Amino acid sequence: MTENAWNYRPSFNYAVGTDLTGYKVEAIDGSIGKVDKHSEEVDDAYVVVDTGVWIFGKEVLLPANTISRIDAEDERIYLDLTKEQIENAPEFHREKHLDEVAYRDQVASYYGHTGGAGPL
């Protein structure tokens, strides 16, 4: 893919201002948790997902471009990723990695996108 990982896909209309906190997150093969934090900034859009007991309570950072659709009525986010892909993603520590450009580039590369970590 050549799109910037840190932008929502132009193929669906993300409604700017929608608070995604608490939305359930669905991988291709099942639920992975709920949105704990999100950003809708241009070139810096992402969701932080609390995976609960699924992967021992760790959080994962997902670039906005990994989201295939958002169902506002059901408060669910759908991903083009499998649970295994998410579980094997670079380990995320919010205090250390959220604003770290090198980590963002690593995550974007892992998910097959260009970096473009945006202004941090």
Tell me: the pLDDT tens digits for 15-24?
A: 888 899 999 9
Residue at 18 is within a domain: yes
pLDDT-based confidence at 120, cuts 50/70/90?
A: very low
Report whether pLDDT(61) > 90. yes
Report whether pLDDT(56) > 70. no
Residue at 75 is within a domain: no
By the 10 Å C-beta count (0-12 exposed, 13-18 middle, 19+ buried), 29 is classed as exposed
Q: How many independent structural domains does the chain possess?
A: 1
Ranges of H-type helices in the chain? 83-87, 94-97, 101-110
Domain boundaries, position 12: 1-22+30-70+84-115
Residue at 92 is within a domain: yes
Q: What is the pLDDT of residue 55?
A: 64
Residue at 17 is within a domain: yes
Residue at 77 is within a domain: no
Burial 35-62 (b: 16+ CB within 10 A, else e): bbebebeeebbbbbbbbeebeeeebbbb
Pairwise CA distance, residues 118 & 105, whole Å: 10
Q: What is the pLDDT of residue 42?
A: 87
Residue at 102 is within a domain: yes
Percentage of the chain surpassing pLDDT 90? 60
- The whole-chain average pLDDT of the chain stands at 86
pTM for this one?
0.86
Q: Which residue has the higher pLDDT, 120 or 80?
A: 80
